[in-house]
Amino acid sequence: MTGHSGAIGIFDSGMGGLTVFARIAERLPEESVIYLGDTARVPYGTKSAETVLRYARACADVLLARGIKLLVAACNTASACAVPALEQSLGVPVIGVIEPGARAAVQRTRTGHIGVIGTMATVSSGAYPAAITALMPDAQVVGQACPLFVPLAEEGWTEGDVPTLVARRYLEGLRGAGIDTLVLGCTHYPLLKSVIGPVIGQSVALVDSAEETAVTVEEVLTRLGLRAPAGSQARREFLVSDGPENFARVGKRFLGGDLDCVEWIDF
Amino acid sequence: MTGHSGAIGIFDSGMGGLTVFARIAERLPEESVIYLGDTARVPYGTKSAETVLRYARACADVLLARGIKLLVAACNTASACAVPALEQSLGVPVIGVIEPGARAAVQRTRTGHIGVIGTMATVSSGAYPAAITALMPDAQVVGQACPLFVPLAEEGWTEGDVPTLVARRYLEGLRGAGIDTLVLGCTHYPLLKSVIGPVIGQSVALVDSAEETAVTVEEVLTRLGLRAPAGSQARREFLVSDGPENFARVGKRFLGGDLDCVEWIDF
């Protein structure tokens, strides 16, 4: 199979990456996309970097076997822990969400004081501070892990007293740190925007990397001559390692529309 | 290796089963115990019954290879989804936490109105209502899944406003149902007792299955002549599939003391 007849492969630990899928599918309507949610091993964010890398390789192998031309790690944890290693070892371009997110933050900030929230694994990895200071060496980056945000988003408790109290507790330190930009460093967090925004303060810009990741995918495909020919028939496929019905049901919250045809695969 | 030279094997999706380990180790101080926490695949409670069974079999195989004489599924989800199948296929006795929990609830209730809280998988399985009505055919059993309780317990947020509000929301329906007994159908939930108790009302007895499971283990070993000889040198071993340092750190909350010697294994 030659490069440009293949699809874009996207993987995530579960359904958070659907926010990235949506931006890529909108921006590149003629490209076929295969989304793989590793729902049997979800979450990645509480696990060690070694285990996350192992799972990310397994996801990449599944997608490569389906002839993808480019791989997107649509998961901050996997991007932080696995993209550098995958870039070295795979035969296709690999794009994570950390560098696009860092670029978006640097474009937004005026003071250079940037906050980053994410899973324990993402925050511990130091990947965001590294990516941000590579672009803006004098940036001040403060990180905060928010482990309860993912279960809250998956439970659908995205507004009201419980998520507000949880957000206040996690963001207390960042509120005193004088940031003007906050990176939502986990693909689930955009679902909690209406809580995070008021708690952190309306003067702080919230950045999520989905849109910027889609821009990067377009740039890379174009540069490498891998764009699908005009008029191509685009396919959208969803693969999961567990619970296709649940994925289709909860996935609606992320896509705002039905997901038909979710396939269960064992790997 | 003959039966009674072996250890008791205990597995759980993570560290919740340490509450069961503690009761078994206290009650049977002369027995060696190997605890396996499947921290690379945690949680089980949000996954399908098929996937939970697959993971439980993998845990059982690891412990059988170490010569255990009896297997305890110290996880309500694994007990609900996998114990019947494991009982059929393993060559050692298998004890889950559901039947001991059901027995404890039936001993406690005066009205026969029993509530059960647990993970989505445990509640969906219907295992508790089945086990309770097998012992008390006219019991009325009401179930409620509480998905945020596990992440709250693992985050250490076990008292104060956030867990209280979460408990109020989950337990609202049960408060109106006239129960006099509530089964804590997940090994993490005893950590939230000081929140669950006041919310459900002090007249409702809270039942956890750890103590009753230890009683069952003792009975089965005695009946089958598998007790360790008096004066045996008891070993305590902890195996995890991910993050031994984190397991040792968070495990203290469950055991109230240090866990030395946590071994990482790949399976």
Of B40, B154, B157, the CB nearest to A51: B40
Region B116-134: mean pLDDT is 96
User: Does position A2 have pLDDT exceeding 70, yes or no?
Assistant: no
Contact B147 A151 (CB under 8 A): yes
Contact B48 A243 (CB under 8 A): yes
Backbone angles phi, psi at B113, to 5 degrees: -100, 110
Size of interface A-B (CB pairs under 8 A): 57
User: Does position A42 have pLDDT exceeding 60, yes or no?
Assistant: yes
User: Does position B255 have pLDDT exceeding 90, yes or no?
Assistant: no
Please name the residue that has the structure tokens 């480019």.
A70
Measured between beta carbons, the chain A residues lying within 8 angstroms of B152 are 148
DSSP-assigned letter for residue B229 = P
Given a contact cutoff of 8 angstroms between Cβ atoms, the answer to whether B184 and B108 are in contact is no
- Rounded CA-CA distance A169/A67 in Å is 45
- Rounded CA-CA distance A19/A256 in Å is 10
CB atoms < 10 A from the CB of A2, how many? 8
**Catalytic entry in A59, A81, A146, A186:** A186
- Rounded CA-CA distance A134/A141 in Å is 12
ipTM, interface predicted TM-score of the complex: 0.89
Measured between beta carbons, the chain B residues lying within 8 angstroms of A161 are 165
User: Does position B1 have pLDDT exceeding 50, yes or no?
Assistant: no
pLDDT, averaged across chain A: 94
Alpha-carbon distance values, B196 to A42, A85, B94, B187, B200 (Å)? 27, 45, 30, 14, 6
pLDDT at A3: 40
Alpha-carbon dihedral angle through residues B26, B28, B31, B32, given to the nearest 10 degrees? -20
pLDDT at A255: 85
pLDDT at B134: 98
Report residue A249's pLDDT band, with 50, 70 and 90 as the boundaries. confident
Report residue A5's pLDDT band, with 50, 70 and 90 as the boundaries. low
- Rounded CA-CA distance A92/A52 in Å is 20
User: Does position B3 have pLDDT exceeding 70, yes or no?
Assistant: no
DSSP string, B79-92: HHHHHHHHHHH-SS
Given a contact cutoff of 8 angstroms between Cβ atoms, the answer to whether A141 and A114 are in contact is yes
Contact B243 A47 (CB under 8 A): yes
pLDDT digit string (tens) for A6-33? 999 999 999 999 999 999 999 999 999 9
pLDDT digit string (tens) for B140-193? 999 999 999 999 998 999 999 999 999 999 999 999 899 999 999 999 999 999
pLDDT, averaged across chain B: 94
Region B75-100: mean pLDDT is 96
User: Does position A174 have pLDDT exceeding 70, yes or no?
Assistant: yes
- Rounded CA-CA distance B76/B126 in Å is 12
- Rounded CA-CA distance B128/B112 in Å is 14
pLDDT at A259: 85
- Rounded CA-CA distance B237/B220 in Å is 22
Domains of chain B: 3-96+211-264 (3.40.50.1860), 98-208 (3.40.50.1860)
pLDDT at B99: 97
| Min Cα separation B154/chain A (Å) | 9
A186 is catalytic: yes
Interstrand relation of A205-207 and A236-240 (parallel, antiparallel or unpaired): unpaired
Q: Pick the more confident residue, A1 or A86.
A: A86
- Closest among B256, B260, B257, B265 to B245, alpha carbons compared: B260
pLDDT at A219: 97
Region A68-78: mean pLDDT is 97
Contact B152 A157 (CB under 8 A): no
- Closest among B231, B267, B207, B266 to B19, alpha carbons compared: B207
B186 is catalytic: yes
Backbone angles phi, psi at A236, to 5 degrees: -125, 120
pLDDT at B5: 64
Region A234-250: mean pLDDT is 92
Report residue B78's pLDDT band, with 50, 70 and 90 as the boundaries. very high
- Closest among B59, B62, B63 to B41, alpha carbons compared: B59
Measured between beta carbons, the chain B residues lying within 8 angstroms of A42 are 46
pTM for the structure as a whole: 0.91
Contact B242 A51 (CB under 8 A): yes
Report residue B254's pLDDT band, with 50, 70 and 90 as the boundaries. confident
- Rounded CA-CA distance A251/A17 in Å is 10
Measured between beta carbons, the chain A residues lying within 8 angstroms of B150 are 151
For residue A242, how many C-alpha atoms fall within 13 Å in the half-sphere facing its CB?
A: 24
User: Does position B210 have pLDDT exceeding 80, yes or no?
Assistant: yes
| Min Cα separation B97/chain A (Å) | 23
pLDDT at B204: 98
> Over pLDDT 70: what percentage of chain A?
98
